[in-house]
Structure 1
Protein backbone atom coordinates (compact mmCIF):
# COMPACT_ATOMS: atom_id res chain seq x y z
CA UNK A 1 0.00 0.00 0.00
CA UNK A 2 1.33 3.43 -0.95
CA UNK A 3 1.37 5.79 2.02
CA UNK A 4 3.22 8.77 0.58
CA UNK A 5 1.29 11.76 -0.82
CA UNK A 6 0.84 11.63 -4.60
CA UNK A 7 2.32 15.09 -5.00
CA UNK A 8 3.43 17.99 -2.88
CA UNK A 9 1.52 21.25 -3.30
CA UNK A 10 3.62 23.70 -5.33
CA UNK A 11 1.22 26.66 -5.31
CA UNK A 12 -0.70 28.48 -2.60
CA UNK A 13 -4.02 27.19 -3.93
CA UNK A 14 -2.79 23.60 -3.77
CA UNK A 15 -1.48 24.16 -0.25
CA UNK A 16 -4.89 25.43 0.80
CA UNK A 17 -6.54 22.31 -0.61
CA UNK A 18 -4.14 20.05 1.29
CA UNK A 19 -4.76 22.06 4.47
CA UNK A 20 -8.51 21.58 4.01
CA UNK A 21 -8.04 17.84 3.59
CA UNK A 22 -5.86 17.52 6.69
CA UNK A 23 -8.07 19.80 8.78
CA UNK A 24 -11.14 17.78 7.81
CA UNK A 25 -9.43 14.50 8.63
CA UNK A 26 -8.30 15.79 12.02
CA UNK A 27 -11.81 17.04 12.90
CA UNK A 28 -13.28 13.64 12.00
CA UNK A 29 -10.63 11.76 13.96
CA UNK A 30 -11.37 13.91 17.01
CA UNK A 31 -15.08 13.12 16.65
CA UNK A 32 -14.79 9.41 15.82
CA UNK A 33 -11.98 8.38 18.14
CA UNK A 34 -9.65 5.66 16.94
CA UNK A 35 -11.77 4.74 13.90
CA UNK A 36 -10.14 6.23 10.79
CA UNK A 37 -12.54 8.32 8.70
CA UNK A 38 -13.26 7.24 5.13
CA UNK A 39 -11.93 9.17 2.17
CA UNK A 40 -15.52 10.06 1.27
CA UNK A 41 -16.19 11.46 4.74
CA UNK A 42 -12.99 13.52 4.59
CA UNK A 43 -13.94 14.86 1.16
CA UNK A 44 -17.43 15.81 2.34
CA UNK A 45 -16.09 17.50 5.46
CA UNK A 46 -13.54 19.44 3.39
CA UNK A 47 -16.11 20.43 0.77
CA UNK A 48 -14.16 18.65 -1.96
CA UNK A 49 -14.79 15.82 -4.38
CA UNK A 50 -13.22 12.44 -3.73
CA UNK A 51 -11.32 12.96 -6.99
CA UNK A 52 -9.73 16.09 -5.55
CA UNK A 53 -8.57 14.08 -2.55
CA UNK A 54 -6.98 11.46 -4.79
CA UNK A 55 -5.00 14.13 -6.62
CA UNK A 56 -2.95 14.52 -3.45
CA UNK A 57 -3.36 11.28 -1.49
CA UNK A 58 -3.69 7.68 -2.70
CA UNK A 59 -5.80 6.58 0.29
CA UNK A 60 -7.03 7.58 3.73
CA UNK A 61 -3.99 5.98 5.39
CA UNK A 62 -1.70 8.41 3.57
CA UNK A 63 -3.78 11.32 4.88
CA UNK A 64 -3.56 10.04 8.44
CA UNK A 65 0.18 9.54 8.08
CA UNK A 66 0.58 13.13 6.88
CA UNK A 67 -1.42 14.28 9.91
CA UNK A 68 0.99 12.35 12.14
CA UNK A 69 3.96 14.02 10.43
CA UNK A 70 2.42 17.44 10.97
CA UNK A 71 1.79 16.60 14.62
CA UNK A 72 5.38 15.47 15.12
CA UNK A 73 6.77 18.55 13.33
CA UNK A 74 5.44 20.86 16.04
CA UNK A 75 7.95 19.69 18.64
CA UNK A 76 11.22 20.71 16.95
CA UNK A 77 9.78 24.17 16.35
CA UNK A 78 8.74 24.61 19.97
CA UNK A 79 12.07 23.34 21.36
CA UNK A 80 14.15 25.39 18.90
CA UNK A 81 12.36 28.56 20.05
CA UNK A 82 13.58 27.85 23.59
CA UNK A 83 17.14 27.23 22.44
CA UNK A 84 17.17 30.77 21.02
CA UNK A 85 15.88 32.34 24.25
CA UNK A 86 18.05 33.74 27.08
CA UNK A 87 19.72 30.90 28.92
CA UNK A 88 19.91 30.90 32.70
CA UNK A 89 18.65 28.41 35.23
CA UNK A 90 15.99 30.90 36.37
CA UNK A 91 14.67 31.51 32.86
CA UNK A 92 14.90 27.78 32.16
CA UNK A 93 12.38 27.01 34.90
CA UNK A 94 9.83 29.37 33.38
CA UNK A 95 10.60 28.31 29.81
CA UNK A 96 10.24 24.64 30.73
CA UNK A 97 6.90 25.31 32.41
CA UNK A 98 5.59 27.21 29.38
CA UNK A 99 6.94 24.60 26.97
CA UNK A 100 5.26 21.81 28.90
CA UNK A 101 1.97 23.71 28.83
CA UNK A 102 2.23 24.00 25.04
CA UNK A 103 3.07 20.38 24.34
CA UNK A 104 0.51 19.13 26.87
CA UNK A 105 -2.24 20.98 25.02
CA UNK A 106 -0.83 19.70 21.74
CA UNK A 107 -1.31 16.15 23.05
CA UNK A 108 -4.76 16.98 24.40
CA UNK A 109 -5.95 18.56 21.16
CA UNK A 110 -4.88 15.50 19.16
CA UNK A 111 -5.53 12.72 21.66
CA UNK A 112 -7.13 10.50 19.03
CA UNK A 113 -3.96 10.58 16.96
CA UNK A 114 -2.08 8.68 19.68
CA UNK A 115 -3.12 5.23 18.40
CA UNK A 116 -1.92 6.27 14.94
CA UNK A 117 1.50 7.16 16.32
CA UNK A 118 1.64 3.90 18.26
CA UNK A 119 0.81 1.98 15.07
CA UNK A 120 3.56 3.81 13.18
CA UNK A 121 6.05 2.98 15.91
CA UNK A 122 5.19 -0.72 15.65
CA UNK A 123 5.37 -0.81 11.83
CA UNK A 124 8.96 -1.58 10.67
CA UNK A 125 8.29 0.18 7.38
CA UNK A 126 7.10 3.39 9.03
CA UNK A 127 9.03 3.47 12.29
CA UNK A 128 11.79 5.59 10.70
CA UNK A 129 9.34 8.52 10.50
CA UNK A 130 9.04 8.61 14.29
CA UNK A 131 12.76 8.02 14.80
CA UNK A 132 13.72 10.95 12.59
CA UNK A 133 11.72 13.33 14.73
CA UNK A 134 12.90 11.67 17.94
CA UNK A 135 16.54 12.23 16.99
CA UNK A 136 15.86 15.85 16.06
CA UNK A 137 14.05 16.51 19.34
CA UNK A 138 16.77 14.87 21.43
CA UNK A 139 19.45 16.95 19.69
CA UNK A 140 17.47 20.14 20.34
CA UNK A 141 16.91 19.24 23.98
CA UNK A 142 20.65 18.65 24.31
CA UNK A 143 21.41 22.01 22.66
CA UNK A 144 19.03 23.73 25.08
CA UNK A 145 20.72 22.16 28.10
CA UNK A 146 24.23 22.84 26.81
CA UNK A 147 23.37 26.48 26.21
CA UNK A 148 22.37 26.87 29.85
CA UNK A 149 25.40 24.96 31.07
CA UNK A 150 28.23 25.04 28.51
CA UNK A 151 30.23 22.76 30.81
CA UNK A 152 27.69 19.96 30.45
CA UNK A 153 29.17 17.22 28.22
CA UNK A 154 27.17 16.69 25.05
CA UNK A 155 26.91 12.98 25.82
CA UNK A 156 25.21 13.76 29.14
CA UNK A 157 22.96 16.40 27.58
CA UNK A 158 21.91 13.94 24.89
CA UNK A 159 21.11 11.27 27.47
CA UNK A 160 19.05 13.74 29.48
CA UNK A 161 17.24 14.87 26.34
CA UNK A 162 16.40 11.27 25.53
CA UNK A 163 14.93 10.74 29.00
CA UNK A 164 12.93 13.98 28.74
CA UNK A 165 11.44 12.89 25.45
CA UNK A 166 10.58 9.33 26.44
CA UNK A 167 9.20 10.13 29.90
CA UNK A 168 7.31 13.13 28.53
CA UNK A 169 5.65 11.12 25.78
CA UNK A 170 4.64 8.27 28.08
CA UNK A 171 3.28 10.61 30.76
CA UNK A 172 1.27 12.74 28.33
CA UNK A 173 -0.03 9.73 26.42
CA UNK A 174 -1.41 8.44 29.71
CA UNK A 175 -2.68 11.90 30.69
CA UNK A 176 -4.85 12.40 27.61
CA UNK A 177 -6.86 9.30 28.53
CA UNK A 178 -7.81 10.75 31.91
CA UNK A 179 -10.21 13.46 33.05
CA UNK A 180 -9.07 17.09 33.00
CA UNK A 181 -8.12 17.20 36.67
CA UNK A 182 -5.95 14.09 36.37
CA UNK A 183 -4.49 15.42 33.13
CA UNK A 184 -3.35 18.59 34.93
CA UNK A 185 -1.95 16.59 37.84
CA UNK A 186 0.09 14.35 35.52
CA UNK A 187 1.36 17.41 33.66
CA UNK A 188 2.51 18.91 36.97
CA UNK A 189 4.09 15.61 37.97
CA UNK A 190 5.99 15.57 34.68
CA UNK A 191 7.33 19.07 35.30
CA UNK A 192 8.49 18.01 38.77
CA UNK A 193 10.25 14.95 37.31
CA UNK A 194 11.93 16.94 34.56
CA UNK A 195 13.21 19.57 37.01
CA UNK A 196 14.48 16.92 39.44
CA UNK A 197 16.33 15.26 36.56
CA UNK A 198 17.78 18.37 34.97
CA UNK A 199 18.55 20.97 37.65
CA UNK A 200 21.49 19.07 39.20
CA UNK A 201 23.15 19.21 35.78
CA UNK A 202 22.36 22.87 35.15
CA UNK A 203 22.91 24.58 38.49
CA UNK A 204 26.56 25.55 38.19
CA UNK A 205 28.57 26.13 41.34
CA UNK A 206 28.99 29.77 42.36
CA UNK A 207 32.74 30.60 42.16
CA UNK A 208 32.25 33.36 44.75
CA UNK A 209 31.12 30.81 47.34
CA UNK A 210 34.41 28.92 47.41
CA UNK A 211 36.60 29.97 50.18
Structure 2
Protein backbone atom coordinates (compact mmCIF):
# COMPACT_ATOMS: atom_id res chain seq x y z
CA UNK A 1 0.00 0.00 0.00
CA UNK A 2 1.34 3.44 -0.93
CA UNK A 3 2.34 5.47 2.12
CA UNK A 4 0.55 8.78 2.54
CA UNK A 5 2.71 11.90 2.37
CA UNK A 6 3.34 13.61 5.75
CA UNK A 7 0.71 16.31 5.18
CA UNK A 8 -1.95 13.77 4.22
CA UNK A 9 -1.12 11.65 7.26
CA UNK A 10 -1.36 14.71 9.52
CA UNK A 11 -4.74 15.67 8.05
CA UNK A 12 -6.04 12.14 8.49
CA UNK A 13 -4.82 12.09 12.07
CA UNK A 14 -6.51 15.43 12.77
CA UNK A 15 -9.74 14.13 11.25
CA UNK A 16 -9.64 11.11 13.59
CA UNK A 17 -9.02 13.33 16.63
CA UNK A 18 -11.69 15.88 15.88
CA UNK A 19 -14.74 13.84 16.98
CA UNK A 20 -13.05 13.04 20.30
CA UNK A 21 -12.16 16.71 20.80
CA UNK A 22 -15.71 17.73 20.01
CA UNK A 23 -17.13 15.15 22.42
CA UNK A 24 -14.71 16.39 25.06
CA UNK A 25 -15.87 20.00 24.59
CA UNK A 26 -19.51 18.93 24.69
CA UNK A 27 -18.90 16.94 27.86
CA UNK A 28 -17.14 19.91 29.47
CA UNK A 29 -20.06 22.18 28.54
CA UNK A 30 -22.47 19.66 30.02
CA UNK A 31 -20.51 19.46 33.27
CA UNK A 32 -20.51 23.24 33.65
CA UNK A 33 -24.20 23.46 32.76
CA UNK A 34 -25.09 20.86 35.39
CA UNK A 35 -22.83 22.50 37.97
CA UNK A 36 -24.52 25.86 37.43
CA UNK A 37 -27.93 24.24 37.80
CA UNK A 38 -27.02 22.50 41.05
CA UNK A 39 -25.24 25.53 42.51
CA UNK A 40 -28.26 27.72 41.72
CA UNK A 41 -30.56 25.21 43.44
CA UNK A 42 -28.49 24.23 46.47
CA UNK A 43 -25.52 26.55 46.84
CA UNK A 44 -21.98 25.52 46.01
CA UNK A 45 -21.17 24.38 49.53
CA UNK A 46 -23.93 21.73 49.38
CA UNK A 47 -23.14 20.38 45.90
CA UNK A 48 -21.16 17.15 45.68
CA UNK A 49 -18.96 16.05 42.82
CA UNK A 50 -20.89 12.77 42.69
CA UNK A 51 -24.12 14.73 42.06
CA UNK A 52 -22.54 16.63 39.20
CA UNK A 53 -21.27 13.40 37.64
CA UNK A 54 -24.65 11.70 37.98
CA UNK A 55 -26.63 14.55 36.47
CA UNK A 56 -24.08 15.03 33.70
CA UNK A 57 -24.37 11.27 33.00
CA UNK A 58 -20.65 10.58 33.30
CA UNK A 59 -18.57 8.54 35.70
CA UNK A 60 -17.00 10.22 38.69
CA UNK A 61 -13.62 9.25 37.25
CA UNK A 62 -14.40 11.09 34.01
CA UNK A 63 -15.44 14.16 35.99
CA UNK A 64 -12.14 14.18 37.85
CA UNK A 65 -10.32 14.11 34.51
CA UNK A 66 -11.80 17.56 33.84
CA UNK A 67 -11.82 19.01 37.35
CA UNK A 68 -9.77 17.80 40.33
CA UNK A 69 -12.32 19.17 42.79
CA UNK A 70 -15.42 21.35 43.13
CA UNK A 71 -13.29 24.41 43.74
CA UNK A 72 -11.89 24.06 40.23
CA UNK A 73 -15.43 24.07 38.83
CA UNK A 74 -16.31 27.22 40.75
CA UNK A 75 -13.11 28.83 39.51
CA UNK A 76 -13.90 27.97 35.89
CA UNK A 77 -17.43 29.33 36.16
CA UNK A 78 -16.12 32.52 37.78
CA UNK A 79 -13.60 33.00 34.99
CA UNK A 80 -16.29 32.47 32.33
CA UNK A 81 -18.60 35.02 33.97
CA UNK A 82 -15.70 37.44 34.35
CA UNK A 83 -14.80 37.19 30.66
CA UNK A 84 -18.39 37.83 29.62
CA UNK A 85 -18.68 40.75 32.05
CA UNK A 86 -15.47 42.29 30.71
CA UNK A 87 -16.74 41.98 27.15
CA UNK A 88 -19.93 43.89 28.04
CA UNK A 89 -17.99 46.56 29.90
CA UNK A 90 -15.59 47.03 26.99
CA UNK A 91 -18.45 47.37 24.50
CA UNK A 92 -20.19 49.95 26.67
CA UNK A 93 -17.13 52.07 27.49
CA UNK A 94 -15.20 51.91 24.21
CA UNK A 95 -17.83 54.10 22.58
CA UNK A 96 -17.61 56.84 25.24
CA UNK A 97 -16.43 60.20 23.88
CA UNK A 98 -17.91 62.81 26.25
CA UNK A 99 -18.97 63.19 29.88
CA UNK A 100 -22.66 62.53 29.27
CA UNK A 101 -21.87 59.28 27.48
CA UNK A 102 -19.46 58.26 30.22
CA UNK A 103 -21.94 58.80 33.04
CA UNK A 104 -24.78 57.22 31.08
CA UNK A 105 -22.73 54.14 30.14
CA UNK A 106 -21.54 53.56 33.70
CA UNK A 107 -25.02 53.99 35.20
CA UNK A 108 -26.41 51.54 32.65
CA UNK A 109 -23.69 48.99 33.45
CA UNK A 110 -24.53 49.15 37.16
CA UNK A 111 -28.24 48.61 36.48
CA UNK A 112 -27.55 45.76 34.06
CA UNK A 113 -25.20 43.99 36.43
CA UNK A 114 -27.62 44.22 39.33
CA UNK A 115 -30.41 42.77 37.20
CA UNK A 116 -28.18 39.91 36.04
CA UNK A 117 -27.20 39.09 39.61
CA UNK A 118 -30.89 39.08 40.60
CA UNK A 119 -31.85 36.87 37.65
CA UNK A 120 -29.01 34.35 38.09
CA UNK A 121 -28.77 32.86 41.60
CA UNK A 122 -25.66 30.96 40.53
CA UNK A 123 -23.77 34.22 40.13
CA UNK A 124 -24.69 35.27 43.65
CA UNK A 125 -23.41 32.00 45.04
CA UNK A 126 -20.19 32.10 43.04
CA UNK A 127 -19.58 35.68 44.13
CA UNK A 128 -19.93 34.61 47.76
CA UNK A 129 -17.68 31.61 47.15
CA UNK A 130 -14.98 33.87 45.75
CA UNK A 131 -15.25 36.17 48.73
CA UNK A 132 -14.73 33.31 51.18
CA UNK A 133 -11.71 31.81 49.42
CA UNK A 134 -8.53 33.88 49.45
CA UNK A 135 -7.05 32.30 46.33
CA UNK A 136 -10.29 32.43 44.37
CA UNK A 137 -10.80 36.04 45.40
CA UNK A 138 -7.81 36.88 43.21
CA UNK A 139 -10.11 36.26 40.23
CA UNK A 140 -12.46 38.99 41.41
CA UNK A 141 -9.62 41.40 42.15
CA UNK A 142 -8.07 40.79 38.73
CA UNK A 143 -11.45 41.40 37.11
CA UNK A 144 -11.92 44.63 39.06
CA UNK A 145 -8.51 45.78 37.85
CA UNK A 146 -9.32 44.87 34.23
CA UNK A 147 -12.72 46.55 34.22
CA UNK A 148 -11.32 49.45 36.23
CA UNK A 149 -8.68 49.93 33.54
CA UNK A 150 -11.45 50.16 30.92
CA UNK A 151 -13.26 52.75 33.03
CA UNK A 152 -10.04 54.70 33.61
CA UNK A 153 -9.36 54.76 29.87
CA UNK A 154 -12.85 56.14 29.22
CA UNK A 155 -12.37 58.83 31.88
CA UNK A 156 -9.05 59.88 30.33
CA UNK A 157 -10.68 60.23 26.91
CA UNK A 158 -13.24 62.58 28.42
CA UNK A 159 -10.78 64.33 30.75
CA UNK A 160 -7.31 64.04 29.19
CA UNK A 161 -5.67 66.27 31.81
CA UNK A 162 -6.50 64.12 34.82
CA UNK A 163 -3.76 62.43 36.82
CA UNK A 164 -3.52 58.86 35.47
CA UNK A 165 -2.46 57.24 38.74
CA UNK A 166 -5.30 58.88 40.60
CA UNK A 167 -7.81 57.83 37.94
CA UNK A 168 -6.52 54.26 37.87
CA UNK A 169 -6.84 53.94 41.64
CA UNK A 170 -10.32 55.49 41.63
CA UNK A 171 -11.57 53.26 38.80
CA UNK A 172 -10.29 50.10 40.49
CA UNK A 173 -11.87 51.11 43.79
CA UNK A 174 -15.17 51.89 42.09
CA UNK A 175 -15.28 48.46 40.48
CA UNK A 176 -14.32 46.54 43.60
CA UNK A 177 -16.85 48.49 45.65
CA UNK A 178 -19.42 47.58 43.02
CA UNK A 179 -18.83 43.87 43.66
CA UNK A 180 -19.23 44.41 47.40
CA UNK A 181 -22.38 46.46 46.82
CA UNK A 182 -23.98 43.71 44.73
CA UNK A 183 -23.24 41.10 47.41
CA UNK A 184 -24.76 43.36 50.04
CA UNK A 185 -27.78 44.25 47.90
CA UNK A 186 -28.81 40.66 47.13
CA UNK A 187 -28.52 39.79 50.83
CA UNK A 188 -31.40 42.23 51.49
CA UNK A 189 -35.00 42.38 50.36
CA UNK A 190 -35.47 43.54 46.78
CA UNK A 191 -36.51 47.10 47.66
CA UNK A 192 -33.71 47.58 50.18
CA UNK A 193 -31.18 46.12 47.77
CA UNK A 194 -32.29 48.49 45.03
CA UNK A 195 -31.76 51.45 47.36
CA UNK A 196 -28.23 50.28 48.14
CA UNK A 197 -27.40 49.92 44.45
CA UNK A 198 -28.87 53.35 43.72
CA UNK A 199 -26.81 54.91 46.52
CA UNK A 200 -23.66 53.28 45.15
CA UNK A 201 -24.47 54.48 41.65
CA UNK A 202 -25.06 58.09 42.72
CA UNK A 203 -21.90 58.09 44.84
CA UNK A 204 -19.69 56.71 42.07
CA UNK A 205 -21.17 58.92 39.36
CA UNK A 206 -20.35 61.93 41.51
CA UNK A 207 -16.79 60.66 42.00
CA UNK A 208 -16.34 60.11 38.26
CA UNK A 209 -17.72 63.54 37.46
CA UNK A 210 -15.53 65.29 40.03
CA UNK A 211 -12.25 63.54 39.26
Q: Does the TM-score normalized on the shorter chain lie above 0.5? A: yes
In the other structure, the counterpart of 1:17 is: 27
Provide the rounded CA distance (Å) in 2 between the counterparts of 1:100 and 1:53: 36
In the other structure, the counterpart of 2:161 is: 151
What TM-score results when the alignment is normalised by the length of structure 2?
A: 0.79
In the other structure, the counterpart of 2:171 is: 161
Query: Match of 1:92, SS?
Result: helix
* Alignment pair present for 1:117 and 2:125: no
- Alignment deviations for residues 176-204 of structure 1 (CA, whole Å, 9 cap, x no partner): 11122222222211211111111123xxx
Structure 1 residue 34 displacement after superposition = 4.8
Aligned length: 189
Structure 1 residues 19-168: aligned runs within 5 Å: 19-108=29-118, 109=120, 110-120=123-133, 122-123=134-135, 126-168=136-178
- Alignment deviations for residues 49-96 of structure 1 (CA, whole Å, 9 cap, x no partner): 323312211222211221222233333222211232142112223212
What TM-score results when the alignment is normalised by the length of structure 1?
A: 0.79
Provide the rounded CA distance (Å) in 1 between the counterparts of 2:160 and 2:22: 43
Question: Which of the pair is proportionally richer in helix?
Answer: 2
Task: State the Cα RMSD in Å.
Answer: 2.2
Structure 1 residue 128 displacement after superposition = 4.0
Q: Which runs of 5+ in 2 are unaligned?
A: 1-19
Instruction: Give the structure with higher Rg (CA).
Output: 2
Q: Which runs of 5+ in 1 are unaligned?
A: 1-9, 202-211
Provide the rounded CA distance (Å) in 1 between the counterparts of 2:111 and 2:33: 23
